[in-house]
Amino acid sequence: MRYTKIDSKLFIQNRKQLARLTAPNSIIILHANDILPTNADGVLPFYQNKDLFYLSGIDQEDTMLVMFPDFVEEKFREVLFIKETSELIAIWDGSKLTKEEASKASGIETVYWIHEFDKVVKQLFFEAENIYLNTNEHTRASVPILTKERRFVDECKKKYPLHQYHRLAPILSKLRAVKSSIEIDLLQAACNITEQGFRRVLSFVKPGVFEFEIEAEFIHEFVRNRSRGFAYSPIIATGGNACVLHYIDNQDQCQDGDLILFDVGAEYANYNADMTRTIPVNGRYTDRQKAVYNAVLRVMRKAMSLLTPGNNLVDYHEEVGKIMESELIELGLIDRTDVKNQDPKHPLYKKYFMHGTSHHLGLDVHDVGSKYMPFEAGMVFTVEPGIYIREENIGIRLENDVVITSNGVNDLMKTIPIETEEIEELMSGSNS
């Protein structure tokens, strides 16, 4: 892997936490993701199942993790199954993990080849009363294909129909929502790489460049700093494109006088950054652009102050909406009297700020975690308010990634330029 090795104590501790939250006499099984085909003999790049990675640190296909925390024989309380390598595989695809390497990375002593799975775990199933299986239960997920996890659920229930089956996803969602210090360091690394990309782009942008050229500058800087690339499909949106929330075509030319919105983040060691900045193509904001920009920045900073232990996303988003409402009144975009008479179910501010302010961040960009879960120290969120004025060709969004602590937030992107004056200065220096 490109990233430096992760201390296996992260994964050992994650497994210990999971074991404490499952019922006695339980077997827990997780799978690596499938390698997905394209056409002919082509395949998409492999991305590990984030739950499996969270518990094992193994970043390789054809992997399974089996846990039976209170099994009689200690060697079978944690068992890792990996793909058996060969000289032929090494020649064509490169070497795979040895058993010793997999054990060192995961902290799991018992490692078998994956083709031995049925033979090894048969006795474990007979001794277990409960079976915990995993599926993708993210609220935004739509999974029309039969994944390896889903296929195994069907297979397992056919073989062992009388066991008690349980959902693993809700437990892992709670665990993954609160990050350890090692995880926060990995997220900080992703944010640092994102900053390097942004600073590179500040010296590159000028009237006449194309959005895809800017995308190329980001990916260059990300990859050269040990990132696999973008954490998600990048948004490089100039002019009116910035008012399209999920614009990813990145095909238009940047015009003098327009703004350009970057919603990008680097991936590092499976952890993700998520940053948004909006800069002037020619290096200078107009007075109107600056007024809208600073309104968004004020909302962002006030929103950060609401990310405190005990709050929750539902109440938080409602409060941020009120803050945005006041800013939009000051900008002349909505009327104070109309606001007093508005339908509270359809607040007027949503015409110009129609998305949420924050989401969990971690191994997934839209990371697991219930919106009803009270905030705790160690949770990581994005903060990303925006104002989109289609009639003025202005779309401005700002986004940083922060860690909730007992004493305010730790802004993982605090060194990334965000003030209009600093951005103008950096852009003017590059064009002088």
The structural domains of the chain, ordered by start, are: 9-176 (3.40.350.10), 181-431 (3.90.230.10)
CA 38, 44, 48, 49 torsion-angle sign: negative
For the whole model, what pTM was predicted?
0.96
Q: How far apart are CA 278 and CA 4, in angstroms?
A: 32
Q: State which residues of the chain have pLDDT below 70.
A: 430-432
pLDDT tens for 43-67 read 999 999 999 999 999 999 999 999 9
Given this model, what pLDDT does residue 430 score?
Answer: 57
How many other CB atoms are found less than 10 A from the CB of residue 148? 16
- Joined together, the tokens standing for residue 357 give 């302010």
Given this model, what pLDDT does residue 141 score?
Answer: 83
DSSP assigned state of 23: P
Cβ neighbourhood burial of 340 (10 Å; 0-12, 13-18, 19+): exposed
Q: Which amino acid is at 99?
A: K
- Joined together, the tokens standing for residue 349 give 């501010």
Phi, psi of 120 (to 5 degrees): -75, -40
The secondary structure element, H or E, covering residue 217 is helix 211-223
CA 395, 289, 332, 357 torsion-angle sign: positive
Given this model, what pLDDT does residue 397 score?
Answer: 98
Tell me how many degrees the CA angle 163-168-174 measures, rounded to the nearest 5.
150
How many other CB atoms are found less than 10 A from the CB of residue 195? 20
Q: How far apart are CA 378 and CA 7, in angstroms?
A: 19
Task: Compute the half-sphere exposure of residue 222: CA atoms within 13 Å on the CB side of its CA.
Answer: 25
Check: CB of residue 166 under 8 Å from CB of residue 29.
no
- Rg over CA atoms, the chain: 24
Given this model, what pLDDT does residue 339 score?
Answer: 93
- Joined together, the tokens standing for residue 311 give 């709050």
Alpha carbon distance, N-terminus to C-terminus of the chain? 40
Q: Which residue has the tokens 């060691």?
A: 269
Beta bridge partners, 389, equal 394
pLDDT tens for 243-275 read 999 999 999 999 999 999 999 999 999 999 999
Given this model, what pLDDT does residue 431 score?
Answer: 54
The secondary structure element, H or E, covering residue 300 is helix 287-306
